[in-house]
Structure formats: structure tokens, C-alpha cells
Chain A
Amino acid sequence: MQRKVKGSALVALGASVALVLAGCSGATSAPATSSGPVTMTFWHNSTTGDGKKYWDDTVAAFEKANPNVTINIQAVQNEDMDGKLQTALNSGDGPTIFMARGGGKLADVVAADQVMDITSQVSSDVKSAYGDAIFSAFTIGGKIYGMPTSVLPGGIYYSKDLFKQAGITAAPTTFDELNAAITKLKAAGITPIALGGKDAWPAAHWYYFFALRDCSKDVMNTAAAKKDFSDPCWTKAGEDLKAFASTTPFNTGFLTTSAQQGAGSSAGMLANHKAAMELMGAWDPGVIASLTPDTKALPDLGWFAFPAVTGGSGEPSAMMGGSDGFACLKTAPAACVQFLNFIASKANQEGYAKAFQTLPANRDAQSGVTDPALKDVLATYNKASYVMLWLDTMYGQNVGNALNGGVVNMLAGKGGPADIVSAVKTAAAKG
């Protein structure tokens, strides 16, 4: 009897070793033809709820349509994604399909020759339904390296109930109006703005948006290309933010508040009516919904664009945002791009937008958006004079991190606008 058990244990061990080996080799040595069995690994950042389920279901549907393909899904927490992905790519064992947000971060991976050029493999259906503009963040040196799944323009999400409670009748369109709203909210005992400073980027977004309003389109593009922040508008953006922060609009302890994890996070504060506003990208309705007491969408969630800044040279209608998307490993099999085209189809994009409560990249699927806040975002987005990429994404991990750190320092009272720019220079010396 015992012998038998041992024997079967050995078989199980052998099988699992074989599975592990298959998992390891799948990414690198799978045949490029679609005939043989293909195993791919897939990393996304939806660890909970509808988003996780959406990927599980979509992958299952793709596997059903392509019986020779097996996709192993790994959900990685968003704040861990950059580091884990980099480590995996460094070790030559990167996932076949991985999350990418374009810009400088993707350019680093392209420079390392780790990602597949999919320019000619994006299906014509997808190309016409997406339009060219959306691919720009994923285009490096004229070649497309990733498939966007969403458009995520930023702006201020707010609770209509709390605004009403404080006696605010209209969404602010200028900073004077925003400051007046903040005063009213404080008088009503409501925390005006929730800020997830612990993750650094939410704090930095405030600086980016001031820069969007203060700097012209040309200046911002020059900064992206040359990492040159000498134009005075960069300092003005810092000064504007400093002046705004000095009115203490943010929640107490914002420095150690995370953005998306738990009820104490900035999104959680909005979800539980503990704060009235939050500056975020279009993923926010979904994140907030996952943190409400009944994990349903927040019914009174509203949205308005980042208010106009007096004396700025940026277009008041300009927006900033990003795209979530996915890329294929350089050595990926043909099924990888098939999968990207699959998730870009209208039906899957509609499912995506519903599951994540966000805006799909596929324009045909955008008509399915019903959330009132997101409808406002979409309307403003379609009228935007131009859309800039998140600055930290655009400048890549190294400079982006330094920029974020400089802004957090300033908001916490350490250093000023000039230190943000000098932090960027120091970063350039390190990488």
C-alpha cells in the first residue's frame, strides 16, 4: 500500500516538474506556427472582483476558440507590477503577454529588445475601430509595441452628495471656484480632497496637471524628448501647486495614505464619503466601486475637468491621461498578437469597459458607456484640443520616479519647486 502511495507521489512530482518546465519554456521556445500546442503566460493587474473575472472569462473564451493555446494568468498587484515585470524581463523569463502603459517605460523595454513589434500584425478591423491617435503612446520610433485596452484621461472625481451638503451648486471650472468649494467643504466639516501620497504618483499628478495648464504643448513635448525642464512654466507649476497646497485641501496624513488599497486609501475615502474629491484617471470609478460598502458603483459620483489656471500657456481644454494596454514578449508565439487583437474587438472591449467601469480604447465600444461620470469624461475627452501622456509614464521609470519624489517632498513641506527640477537632474546621473 505504502509503495503504491509512494509511486503515485513520484508520478505527481514528475508531472509537476514537467509542468513547471513547460511553464518556463513556453515563453521562449514555443513554435511560431499556430499548429502545435502553445503555452503563454499573461500578467495583468486586476487582483480582485469584476476585473479579475473579466480576464479569466476572456482568456477562457480565447482558449476555447484556439484549442491549441493555453494561457496561464498571473494577476499582479498594481504597485508591484513595474518592479516584478522588470525583474522577470531582466532574468530572461518575462511573461509572454504583459501589461504596458506606453511612453518612456515601454521605451526602456524596447531599448532592451524585450518586446515585439506588432505594427504589421494589428488587424485592420482593430486599426479602424481604434484610430491612430490612441496608438501614439505605444508607438516608439514609428513602430507599434502594444495594444491599448482603455483610454484613461484624468480629472477630478467628486461626490455630488457631499458637494450638495456643503452648498456647492456647480462643479468648479476655475481655481478660484475650486478654492471657494474647498472653503465651503471645510466649513461643512468635510475633507475636501483625498490624496494617496504613499504611492507618490497620485500626488505627482497634481503637479502634472498644473504643468498641463501652465506649459504650452510645445514645451511639454520638448521636455519629453530632451528631458529639459528649463522653461519657467515648470517652476510656475510647482509654485501654483505649492500655493494650492498651502490652503491644506488634502486629507490629514495624505503622505502615508495609499491610493487604492482598502477603505483608508484615497479611493476608499471617496467610496465611503470620507472625502469629497480626488484627482484621478478614468480607472477611478471601477476602483471606487470595489471599495464601497456594498462593492457597487458609487451612485453620486461626478467628474469635472482639472480647472483652468490663470496666466497659464496651456490650452484649458487640454487633457492628460494614459492608456492601459498589453504587449508581447519579443520571443512570443503568433498566438500572442492574436490574443491582443482578440481583446481589442468590440465585444471584448465592451465587456472590458463594463468590468473595469472605465473607457474602452475601441471607439465602437465607447457608445456602451453608461456611467454618468465616465460619460462626462468621454465628452470632454472627445473635445480636448490635445491629450498629453502622464508625465511619469512619458519620462520613464527613472526620471518619472524622481519627479514623483520631488513633488511628494514639496507637498510634505520638504523643498520647493526648484528642488523638483533638481531631483530630475540627479536622477539623470544615476541611469
Chain B
Amino acid sequence: MSESAEALATRSSGSQAARDGAHRAPSRADRPGRARADLRQRLEIVLLSGPAIIVFLTFVIFPVFMAAYYGFFKWKGFGVPTNFVGLQNYITIFTDQNFLDALKHNAFIVVVSLVMQGPAAIAFALLLNQNIRGRSLIRVLIFVPYVISEVIVGTGWGLMLQYQGAVNDLLTKIGLGAFKVDWIADPNIAIWTLMVIISWKYIGFAVILMLAGIQSIPDELYEAAAIDGASYWQIQRWITLPLLGPTIRVWAFLSVIGSMQLFDLVYIIWGQYVSSTAGTSTMATYMVREGRLTGNYGYGNAVAVVIFVISLVIALTYQRFVLRRDTEGALTGEPGRKQK
């Protein structure tokens, strides 16, 4: 990160030098020195940004184009694909009930994540912004799930939520045996179980973001409101929430993208085969199952392209219509009104 920033700085100073050069008629004496400095700066740019650009092109851009290419073939993954099928793979994708189900689950996860985590995260952030006893301990506890690896979270919850698992055992022990259900195997409730696990896992991240957002709101505003006699709730409603807008919008963006690409938790808890049966499959688990497990690599690449396009459209739309106000400096405008 700092490397590319440095490279940018170098480049701007470089162009500055070039402009200076344009204004002044270059004298013969300082020309070689200038050229050498120019070369050095170019070399620096190449050296500093080169590796990053090469890695990006090789491992991100190139595979995207290759996936688009493979997606037009029936291909088992061995050698060069030869069986060109045009758009057939894409037609199959959008007529396969399993994919449509997965898409529906993704949409569900996107919406419910926002609805469940957003308000809860703001509430936690407001609470943790107070001077309460054990504040830093609570902060740590809320953030811990976020830093635990998905595999561990998935394995742990997967074991606890088995029908004979710890959760049902606990329910029986405290006399709530009647509420025992098959948390992850019952297709009617499995996705809600997943939502609870996702919220538990990722809310720490949202809370930290919100907390940082709240703390960056100038104290003067609160003081002024207090002097004007505003109540605590009025202050939160008319000052904190509006000024938290940019943070909320960025968090929502990250949450949506994360939900679209959800894979690991589902794959760990439900394994390679049964997530679509349990009603928790996502586009990514569909891709792995139909592409890798079945050895239909051409088809799997087509699915990857579909996921990529859907994510790209959502990301660009969001940036264009929602995040734009932030980049235009909405903080200084009338955030309260725009919040609606």
C-alpha cells in the first residue's frame, strides 16, 4: 500500500518537473542531469509498482479473461478445450433450479445481513461509546469472532448445532427440551441458523467501523445540541445517525459484497454436497460443486463469470448511486436529509 502511495508521489513530482521544464527553455548544461533524474524516477515507478501490477494482471485480470473463454466450452479440465458450445452453459445456468435457488439464498443473505447486523451494530457502537465498566473487554469479545478463521467457526458451530450437539443438550438441561430442533439439517430453518452464525461472526467488524465513525464526529456538535436542550435520543437521531451515514454506507457495501461471495462457512458446515438440499447453498458453493466436484470445468467457469458480472453490476450501481455522495463530500452538505 505504502509502496504505491510512494510511487504516486514520485509520479506527481515527476510531472511537476516536466512542467517546469516546459516553462523554461532548457539550457544545454542541465539537460543530462534532468534526463537522468527523469530516468531514475521512471525506474523507481517501474520498480515499485511493477511487481504489484504484474501480480494483479497475472492472478486477477488474466484469470477473469480465461474464465470468460473457458465458459464457452464443455471442458473436463484436461488440455485445451475443444468442444465449443457457445452460450449453452449460460442457458443451462439460468434454467437450473439449483442455481436459481442459490441466487435466491444469496439475495436473502444480503438483505437479512443488512437488516440484522446494521441496527445491532449501531446499537452496540452507541453502547460501547459510553463510559461503561468493562468497555474494552466487551469490545474485544464482540470483535473476537471476526478474527477467528471461518473454518474453525464453521466446524465449531457445525458440531454444536447437530441434533445430538451441545446446543440441544443445553436446551434439554435447562428444561427447554421442547425447543429442540435440527438446527442445520432442517431445510426450513437452516438458513436462519446460517444468518445467526454470520451475524455473530461478522458483527464485530461492523461495530468497530461504526465506533470509529462515531468517534470521528466532532464533540462540538454534541455540546451545541446539549446546550439547546436536546435529549440523548434526539442527539443520536439527528446528529450521530446522519453523520454516521458515510460509515454505514461503506459498511453496507462491504457487507453486500461479502454476502454475495459467501462460501467458506456454508462449505464447512454443510459440506460439499448437501447445502442446496438444506437450503443454504450460495452461488459460490454451486460453482464449486458443479465445476470442481463434477469435473465440469467449462461449466464452472461460466458460473464464475455469472457471479463476477452480478457482483460487478451491484458494486458499480452502489458506487454510482449510493457512495457517490460521500465522494462528493456529503459530510459538509445536508447529510440529515440525504440519509432518508
Contact = CB atoms under 8 A, between A and B. Distances in A.
Contact of A198 (B270, B289, B292): B270
Interface string A254-269: 1111100000100000
Contacts of A398: 294-296
A31 B271 CA distance: 41
A112 B270 contact: no
B162 interface: yes
B278 A256 contact: yes
B12 interface: no
Which among B158, B269, B295 has the greatest number of chain A C-beta atoms within 10 A?
Answer: B295
Contacts of B278: 255-256, 412
Contacts of A412: 185, 187, 274, 277-278
Nearest to A264: B162
Given A114-B78, A256-B162, A401-B289, A408 B274 contact: yes
Interface string B165-189: 1000000000000000010110100
Contacts of A24: none
A370 interface: no
A431 B273 contact: no
B37 interface: no
B185 A255 contact: yes
A119 to B, nearest CB: 22
B166 to A, nearest CB: 11
B149 to A, nearest CB: 18
A111 B293 contact: no
Given A200-B274, A255-B274, A414-B187, A426 B92 contact: yes
Nearest to B91: A429
Contact of A414 (B78, B182, B271, B277): B277
B96 interface: yes
B187 A413 contact: yes
A201 B2 CA distance: 51
B67 to A, nearest CB: 15
B163 A200 contact: no
B299 A256 contact: no
A321 interface: no
Contact of B184 (A79, A256, A431): A256
Contact of A254 (B77, B185, B272, B294): B185
Interface stretch (A12-20, A82-90, A224-232, A285-293): A82-90
A429 to B, nearest CB: 5
Nearest to A263: B164
A402 B276 CA distance: 12
Contacts of A431: 74, 76, 294-296, 299
Contacts, number: 114
B123 interface: no
Interface in A214-264: 251-258, 264
B299 A430 contact: yes
B9 interface: no
B294 A89 contact: no
A49 B114 CA distance: 47
Contacts of B182: 252-253
Main secondary structure of the interface of B (DSSP, over half): loop
Nearest to B164: A264
Interface string B272-305: 1110111000000000011011111101000000
A2 B96 CA distance: 64
A255 B78 contact: no
Contacts of A274: 164
B76 A112 contact: yes
B272 A79 contact: yes
B134 interface: no
B159 interface: yes
B277 A426 contact: no
Given A108-B76, A398-B294, A405 B272 contact: no
B329 interface: no
A404 B293 CA distance: 12
A409 B92 contact: no
Chain B: interface residue count, which band?
A: 35 or more
Nearest to B101: A414
B119 interface: no
Nearest to A399: B294
B92 to A, nearest CB: 5
Contacts of B78: 89-90, 111-114
A253 B294 contact: no
B295 A108 contact: yes
Interface in A77-98: 79, 82-83, 86-87, 89-90
Contacts of B32: none
A313 interface: no
Contacts of A307: none
A86 B273 contact: no
B277 A112 contact: no
Contacts of A253: 162-164, 182, 184-185
A397 B273 contact: no
Interface in A88-140: 89-90, 108, 111-114
Which among B74, B79, B165, B273 has the greatest number of chain A C-beta atoms within 10 A?
Answer: B273
A146 interface: no
A197 interface: yes
Contacts of A397: 293-295
Contacts of B158: 256
B193 to A, nearest CB: 11
Contact of A252 (B76, B163, B276): B163
B265 to A, nearest CB: 14
A430 B273 contact: no
A199 interface: yes
Given A253-B182, A430-B294, A430-B299, A197 B274 contact: yes
Given A253-B184, A431-B295, 10 more contacts: A86-B292, A113-B78, A251-B163, A253-B185, A398-B294, A405-B276, A408-B273, A409-B277, A413-B187, A429-B88
Interface of A: 79, 82-83, 86-87, 89-90, 108, 111-114, 197-200, 251-258, 264, 274, 396-398, 401-402, 404-405, 408-409, 412-414, 426-427, 429-431
24 contacts: A86-B295, A90-B297, A108-B295, A112-B76, A198-B273, A200-B274, A252-B164, A252-B185, A253-B164, A254-B185, A255-B185, A255-B277, A256-B158, A256-B184, A256-B278, A396-B295, A398-B294, A401-B273, A405-B276, A408-B274, A412-B185, A412-B274, A429-B92, A430-B294
